[in-house]
Chain A
């Protein structure tokens, strides 16, 4: 039992549970407990061929600790490396945080469905995110910005509990500086610093104040459940149809490929049917997420 290799020949091909090895090429501390890793496949062929769509996720391995599920936080339009952003909460994330540049970890993916970005040609795109919920949205934001001329207005409403909790701070500045992006950053009341020049208020409230037009628009929403819950009615008031509002669900997962059974919500397997759901779909789900 103690060694996996028996007298018999090992499998010639990997099973679906075997990760590809990746090397940490860069890391950024977003907040005190949130880190972004930039990863490159060790295998040259994979580096070339790896492709995914905005919204898909992966299973990230810290050998000895296990696997953890995060969306891919970098856009598919920037091949060669991928990024993930995670908060240190458990065994695997703690182990991933131990990794330094040059260290090896594992990756399985891409898994799940994606935001239907290709269907949004010519549309205005609204992004609403809270806290670390910006990670999956960031993938879509860059995907859209990298193909900027295919879309109409781009509005980003992003907030966190406090200034310290804002992630991707350099990119927030970059987006704010772009003329083709309407960037609104906010922190919860009490979370501001003396030199804070953004807004103060909860994301759903600020979203209502910004009041982006729902005409020819789609919305991508991701953040803590409470933020999503209160943002949906605001979007509905603004005139967004449920079919045009998308979010990505987070569920405890192990396999990522529809086998292990733990990400069931109602009739859906989040790993296969999601993680991206429209508000229309979300409203049919039992409250088990």
Chain B
């Protein structure tokens, strides 16, 4: 069978992250903008951007009745609501998606982002869904998060509870930021099984077994499209699943419809997905969507030497046209 492509062990220096301008330029910006506390105080930075009118709303996390949840802070007096801890799993870059009119109506946003979330912001920039001067980015140094935000207290990360995608994260300190807050964090623990190991396990199984696995999994899909709605990079004004002329994807949640929806979703995100895992967490049926996303990320890495990073200047394989492309059909 094919050997597992563990991206992390292959040390994808070439394209991941941002070796270029953004990475070097970013640190200079902290003092320039006059952040009150360069060493990283989330409340201070949030208060600053609201008070100075750099942003109309700070999108971060707050303590809700059921754990932490996205927060929309619009006045400097209100910034104490903001928290950041291991429960802050959401990718808030999702709220920068131009489809979210109710968020856009709040005005110019500042958004609190982890390293993984910064990759989603880069995706939106890369695909011209957002321009850099429309948004203030408050980066948080991150040591990994839990898979669950709905906890009364932040919990320590253990192999069983840490989000598996945090393992060997290459962006624990985001670079695509205007402000960077928080102390440097330790590396998160290794989960009992990494996502790559799970993908490899599945790939080792015979085709019939793999097919059975996915048919079984997809049979539980209720077609709520939560995976799509929470995805920061599902940006289509009108999703192919919502189109009826022609009806590419059966709307019904029978095996044919479910298979075509789930595969289409994954394929549309190939080379774009930042593996934040929002789709999998939002799924009310617990489908292992990250296995698909990861497999496609591996394929994109292998074929195009590309990993979705947080430098918006690095073009993605989809959306990049080159005269010297290796494929003849495209020239």
Chains A and B share a contact (CB less than 8 Å): yes
Binding site for B on A (CB under 8 A): 1, 66, 90-91, 94
Does B2 sit within 8 A of A, measured CB to CB?
A: no
CA distance A1 to B254 in the complex (A): 7
- Chain A residues near B11 (CB-CB < 8 A): none
Majority SS at the chain B contact face: loop
* 7 further A-B pairs in the complex, CB-CB below 8 A; given A1-B255, A90-B245, A91-B245: A1-B254, A1-B256, A66-B244, A90-B244, A91-B244, A91-B247, A94-B245
Q: Which of B219-269 contact A (CB under 8 A)?
A: 244-245, 247, 254-256
Majority SS at the chain A contact face: mixed
Q: Considering only CB atoms, which chain A residue lies closest to B246 in the complex?
A: A91
- Chain A residues near B256 (CB-CB < 8 A): 1
- Chain B residues near A94 (CB-CB < 8 A): 245
Q: Considering only CB atoms, which chain A residue lies closest to B257 in the complex?
A: A1
Q: Considering only CB atoms, which chain A residue lies closest to B243 in the complex?
A: A91
- Chain B residues near A91 (CB-CB < 8 A): 244-245, 247
Nearest CB of chain A from residue B43's CB, rounded to whole Å: 39
CA distance A90 to B245 in the complex (A): 7
- Chain A residues near B254 (CB-CB < 8 A): 1
Nearest CB of chain A from residue B247's CB, rounded to whole Å: 7
- Chain B residues near A1 (CB-CB < 8 A): 254-256
CA distance A260 to B247 in the complex (A): 21
Give 10 A-B contacts (CB < 8 Å), ordered by A residue.
A1-B254, A1-B255, A1-B256, A66-B244, A90-B244, A90-B245, A91-B244, A91-B245, A91-B247, A94-B245
CA distance A90 to B254 in the complex (A): 24
Q: Considering only CB atoms, which chain A residue lies closest to B245 in the complex?
A: A91
CA distance A94 to B254 in the complex (A): 26
CA distance A94 to B245 in the complex (A): 10
Q: Which A-B residue pairs are the 8 nearest by beta carbons?
A: A1-B254, A91-B244, A91-B245, A1-B255, A90-B245, A94-B245, A90-B244, A91-B247
CA distance A66 to B244 in the complex (A): 10
Nearest CB of chain B from residue A93's CB, rounded to whole Å: 10
CA distance A240 to B186 in the complex (A): 75
Q: Of A1, A66, A90, A94, which is in contact with the most chain B CB atoms at under 10 Å from its CB?
A: A1
CA distance A94 to B246 in the complex (A): 11
- Chain A residues near B244 (CB-CB < 8 A): 66, 90-91
CA distance A66 to B245 in the complex (A): 12
Q: Considering only CB atoms, which chain B residue lies closest to A64 in the complex?
A: B247
- Chain B residues near A66 (CB-CB < 8 A): 244
Nearest CB of chain B from residue A124's CB, rounded to whole Å: 44
CA distance A1 to B244 in the complex (A): 21
Q: Of A90, A91, A94, which is in contact with the most chain B CB atoms at under 10 Å from its CB?
A: A91
CA distance A149 to B328 in the complex (A): 79
CA distance A181 to B245 in the complex (A): 43
Q: Considering only CB atoms, which chain A residue lies closest to B254 in the complex?
A: A1
Q: Considering only CB atoms, which chain B residue lies closest to A66 in the complex?
A: B244
CA distance A91 to B256 in the complex (A): 21
Nearest CB of chain A from residue B63's CB, rounded to whole Å: 33
Q: Considering only CB atoms, which chain B residue lies closest to A1 in the complex?
A: B254
- Chain B residues near A90 (CB-CB < 8 A): 244-245
CA distance A230 to B37 in the complex (A): 57
Nearest CB of chain B from residue A94's CB, rounded to whole Å: 7
